[in-house]
């Protein structure tokens, strides 16, 4: 299977597939409370069966070209991941997202991994607009959107009901021409 290096620290981005269900569940168990602050993933992946089902749903999305999921590994251990929750090739839009266990936070892993999948979506799949939706209180996720060069499109006020509370959600995006221009500017330095 292939792996894409995420830098000199040995971190890698790899496909996350149903046969990784045990490792994915262990990743959720290590970061359940931390990850679950803003997203429901740890509430969905609670045992081996639900872990396998979740990864199978993304295998189905990959087969129909409507989503993707990749894991971030450091030192041979799954510590998080990035995904396209949705992908609409015909309309040229996708929504990217992420999760990370606490031991891997603050190292730039999500930003580096998201760059890889966004570049793939734009350059290989012809996606025109990539969105990043995050709870307004999720400052690390919003910082990733900024580092990716995304523009804040707006706030969906109290649009996400999660764990008994309504949350404002910020929508960020990058368009293919903006992505390419930023990439070209970085390459010319």
Sequence spans of domains, the chain:
4-187
Q: Please answer whether residues 81 and 71 qualify as being in contact, where contact means their C-beta atoms are separated by less than 8 angstroms.
A: yes
Please report, rounded to a whole number, the percentage of residues in the chain having pLDDT higher than 70: 99
State the pTM of this model: 0.93
- Superfamily name with CATH number, domain 4-187: Gcn5-related N-acetyltransferase (GNAT) (3.40.630.30)
Give the pLDDT band (50/70/90) at residue 1: low
Say which residue, 174 or 10, is predicted with more confidence. 174
**pLDDT at residue 132 tops 90:** yes
> pLDDT tens-digit profile of 59-90?
999 999 999 999 999 999 999 999 999 999 99
Give the pLDDT band (50/70/90) at residue 187: confident
**pLDDT at residue 23 tops 80:** yes
């Amino acid at each position: 299977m292939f792996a894409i290096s995420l830098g000199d620290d040995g971190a890698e981005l790899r496909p996350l597939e149903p046969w990784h269900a045990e490792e994915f569940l262990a990743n959720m168990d290590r970061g359940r409370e931390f990850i679950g602050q803003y997203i429901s993933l740890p509430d969905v992946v609670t045992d081996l069966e639900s872990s396998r089902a979740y990864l199978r749903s993304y295998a189905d999305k990959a087969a129909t070209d409507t989503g993707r999921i990749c894991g971030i590994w450091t030192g041979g251990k799954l510590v998080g991941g990035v995904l396209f929750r949705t992908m609409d090739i015909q309309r040229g839009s996708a929504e990217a997202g992420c999760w990370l266990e606490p031991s891997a936070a603050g190292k730039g892993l999500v930003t580096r991994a998201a760059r890889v999948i966004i570049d793939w979506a734009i350059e290989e799949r012809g996606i025109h607009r990539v969105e990043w939706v995050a709870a307004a209180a999720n400052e690390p996720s919003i910082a990733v959107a900024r580092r990716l060069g995304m523009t804040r499109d707006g706030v969906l006020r109290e649009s996400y009901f999660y764990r008994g509370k309504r949350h404002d959600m910020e929508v960020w995006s990058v368009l293919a021409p903006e992505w390419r221009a930023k990439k070209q500017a970085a390459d010319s330095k």
